[in-house]
Amino acid sequence: MSLIAKIFGGGGKGSKEPSPQQAIQKLRDTEEMLAKKQEFLEKKIEQEVQTAKKHGLKNKRVALQALKRKKRYETQLAQIDGTLSTIEFQREALENANTNTEVLKNMGYAAKALQAAHKSIDVDNVHDLMDDITEQQELANEISEAISKPVGFGEQYDEDELMAELEDLEQEELDRNLLEVPETDTLPSVPSTSLPARPVMKEEDDDDVAELEAWAAN
């Protein structure tokens, strides 16, 4: 049994623990009640101050009694301030705990939903499915490639034979063009320009020629 249960006499078998929402609401009600008590004490303190001022010179006994009551009220007010701080701290802790509880509850709910969604999924089946998809994609690519290639409707030719036949045709065309060159009876025209005159030999050349002729005559 907890200390709080011992103090307030709870904790029996038939007792039910309060929910966080109920406890938070109770603390808020207590805060509101203490706030009203604070307002009452502040008014009482102000009244006692006015009484002490009023009788301070005329009746010191009454003034002193008023100041004593003011001190008691101030002590109670300080206690209420401390109590409010404690209650506020406890309420905030409960609110945080309640928030965490709701968050965890929702996360657990989502985890169960995720588990249920994956329950019908087999990892091996997923791998098999991906393999099938890959295989079908490769098959589709092969089909597309085959369709895109030009076909000769079953006719197949030797490329070397076709090239040889093309060369023969080109040679025939070349021979035919040579045979069709037109014949002409006209001779090419003689150049109209005169040949350059023989250069005049120098004296030394003439002497050499005369000497050669004399040697030949002997």
CB 84 within 8 A of CB 31: yes
Q: Which residue has the higher pLDDT, 198 or 98?
A: 98
Residue 72 backbone phi and psi in degrees, to 5: -65, -40
Tokens of 80: 């209420």
Q: How many domains are there within the chain?
A: 1
Q: What is the pLDDT of residues 20-76, one digit of tens each?
A: 888 889 999 999 999 999 999 999 999 999 999 888 778 888 889 999 999 999 999
CATH number at 30 reads 1.10.287.1060
Residue 78 lies in a domain: yes
Mean pLDDT of 115-129: 83
Q: What is the pLDDT of residues 168-207, one digit of tens each?
A: 888 888 888 888 766 655 555 655 555 555 555 555 556 6
Q: What is the pLDDT of residue 7?
A: 41
Q: What is the pLDDT of residue 155?
A: 57
Kindly tell me the sign of the dihedral angle through the C-alpha atoms of 71, 76, 79, 81. negative
Residue 60 lies in a domain: yes
CA 90 – CA 50 distance, rounded (Å): 37
How crowded is residue 201: how many other Cβ atoms within 10 Å of its Cβ?
11
Residue 104 lies in a domain: yes
Q: What is the pLDDT of residue 34?
A: 95
Q: Is 154 helix (H, G, I), strand (E, B) or coil?
A: coil
Residue 137 lies in a domain: no
Residue 71 lies in a domain: yes
Q: What is the pLDDT of residue 156?
A: 63
DSSP 196: P
Residue 81 lies in a domain: yes
Q: Which of 69-78, 95-104, 145-154 has the highest mean pLDDT?
A: 69-78
Domain span at residue 90 reads: 17-119
| Pick from 7-21, 72-86, 112-126, 186-200: least confident | 186-200
Does the pLDDT at position 10 exceed 60?
A: no
Tokens of 97: 């705990």
Residue 192 lies in a domain: no
Residue 32 lies in a domain: yes
The band of 98, judged by pLDDT with boundaries at 50, 70 and 90, is confident
CA 41 – CA 72 distance, rounded (Å): 10
Could you tell me the pTM of the whole model? 0.45
Mean pLDDT of the chain: 79
DSSP letters for 161-195 = HHHHHHHHHHHHHHHHHHHTPPP--PPPPPP-SPP
